[in-house]
Structure 1
Amino acid sequence: MLLEGTVVADADTVIDDGAVVVEGDRIAAVGDRSELAERYPDRERRRYDVLAPGIVGGHVHSVQSLGRGIADDTALLDWLFEYVLPMEADLDADGMRIAAELGYAELIESGVTTVIDHLSVRHADEAFEAASRIGIRGRIGKVLMDKDAPDGLAEDTDAALAESERLIEEYHGANDGRIGYALTPRFAVSCTEACLRGVRELADAHDGVRIHTHASENRDEIAQVEADTGMRNIHWLDEVGLTGEDVVLAHCVWTDESEREVLAETGTHVTYCPSSNMKLASGVAPIPDYLDRGINVALGNDGPPCNNTLDPFTEMRQASLLQKVEDLDPTTLPARTVFEMATVNGATAAGFEGVGRLEPGWKADVVGLRTDLTRATPIHDVLSHLVFAAHGDDVAFTMVDGEVLYEDGDHVAVDADRIRREADEYEVSVAD
């Protein structure tokens, strides 16, 4: 297949009249359209206004998709324990399937080709199966909660670890390598020391498995961890083995100098979720400082109950604007940096090689966008347009591993009308 359009190969490379040639699951060539059309005359040709690498959702809760809007205007710990966790506890296997399908379908049609997904305690198989059916690339994991968890989610430590290992053996490397496993303890507040240390032991025992959890999102959370352990959050996670190149920490809003040194020294990845942090009034993560220290920062939407949308383009815009306001500096977190966070940085955090750029030999994860819109007229700088003006609705084409999953408003692999209908009909538990 030969894809034509303005090619944004990465944050530094734009080809105005370009093309991307796909062979199997890989990119064979990227360059000038006329030259590649001559070299590959027999290829099926498709044209889109802009071609870009698939976006990476660096922290998402697909299973919370059925709770969109149930907990607006609520503080984080109340939001979690009074609304979101009861909703998760009430989901049966069918609800988990519907929620995962809904979340993955929204991501695919919004240009997200790879996701780091933090599921729930029960029925994780349903989400793994949904991801394989829909075709998204995912680093996915069952949540562990063996402390201060509500009814329906509380687990025995050994049972939680054993179930995680079963899922690793069943799904890690599934769907021709599109699915990778991430051990996902909810956060330090809801996990015992034995659970957290057990997570590290499991990750070390299984090649390529990563760890993904929440950290330092909210000051009340940090106070609780310090009361329980005598340490600040990042220091506690480091003590039990939950830092390192294979660890992705969502949020990291409230870290001190010593904690940031730990993140940098250990190569731990951070995911920035600006819309969620704003909506829950958690604060502003010190992203420029993290980047200056060489910490890899990805970009994520978090879950629909604290964001309401999984649109990655909206998140890119929010990511830059929030930091500019925080620093009172219009040069802070420019479009180029944000685009890297949403693509190659996210892929690095997820542990997928050859993902995040349009480059020969890399995975054929490609999105095509339309720009025949008043909002997209004129375009003086296409990278600026993608970060500050584009919407997920502009996506007209999504490809993962060379497989077309979404084209011109239609999902290829699944019945989106059926998914939306089932989601509308499913009754979720909502607090009074």
Structure 2
Amino acid sequence: MRILYSLVWWLILPFALFRLWWRGRKEPGYRMHIAERLGFYPPPSIAAGCLWVHAVSVGETRAAEPLIQALLAAWPEKDILLTCMTPTGRATGKELFGNHPKIMQAYLPYDTGFMMHRLITHFHPRTCILMETEIWPNLIAQCKAHHIPVALVNARLSERSLKKGKRLPALIQEAADGISCVAAQTETDARRLRQFGSRHVTVAGSVKFDATPPEDAVKKGHQLRTAIGNRPVLMCASTRDGEETLILDALAALKPSTTLLLMVPRHPQRFNEVANMLSARKLSYVRRSGLTADFEPISPDIQVLLGDSMGEMFTYYAASDVAFIGGSLAPLGGQNLIEACALGIPVIIGPHTFNFEAITEDAVAESAAIRIHSAPELMQQAKQLLEHPENCHRMGEKAQQFARRQRGATERTLDILRPFLDDRQTGPAAARKE
């Protein structure tokens, strides 16, 4: 089955490369480092025996940040290879780690045995740590062939993904057998991962709760809030295609409120598209990219602030009173609500949260979040919170308490990884033992 899977990759490779070029029209980063996606890399700036962490994009890279910092602290003699699959993920890694001398970033190649073999023989990693849902059959097979333990951490698996995986049981079972240990986010995730065929599954929680809001980002958020003035701010975070239309159509429910809508599309290639939506509706707006570095005052006539920047999500949250988490009005599975909760921001979430099911349900149960089922209901709930600051403040405190109670997953994950990272436990002998 894996041979057939590999053959499919080689057949679609020209189309995959064309897709990179096509996406590069709007996001030039897709046309950079193309050779890395085929397994060809510049000379490594890190030593052999590095710890390889793979985080597919922005969310996973941010989630990996506390884990990577903990790995560097616990094993200071080790370097980190951080791979991703999107330009925004790579930019996030640059933002978080800068030019850290012990961290090298690269793209993960397409999942063929040849390309994965080239990556492994180029960097010679000691251990491979996959974040969240990154199960690549040839990557895992090549790691097994080179006696490299594979760990799946901060792991989550929705019911939808479980059903998809069961369509290719032989391929998925082989990949699951090659994973040495799994640190799942929740008991529900652990149960599904075991049904997936994973062994050695332990519940560790979500390392995203251990990410500390950067002080400079929070400070910038307070500066942005000063520029906005005393107006209430409703943030719509990580909105996806189709959701902005629903939100903007329902925006009239806030009138004649002075509320400022802070809209932050999830994907940068859609910034201009959303700006065109605002213009078509004759909504007065300003783009974040059009503001000065020290945030000049924003006119009270402005109805929408378009967050068209990368790496400023904590800044946007810190400037907001209430946050709606996108990807949940449309059936896209939702996004992570943890960053908003960590800053004490009341959260509103839509009906479609299957990617973060357990955490979302817990947040709703603890009154840290409110679930709505439509854009008009979103505006109604936001209006009620914004018109009653005491209720908004109380819910924000519950959100922050909820986030604090979830902390500690990074240390639990380290305990799970430790047998595979200590020198005396790794290498061919350890792999054979596993």
- When normalised by structure 2's length, the TM-score is 0.29
**Higher helix fraction: Structure 1 or Structure 2?**
2
Structure with the higher strand share, 1 or 2: 1
Provide the TM-score with structure 1 as the length reference. Answer: 0.29
Larger Rg: 2
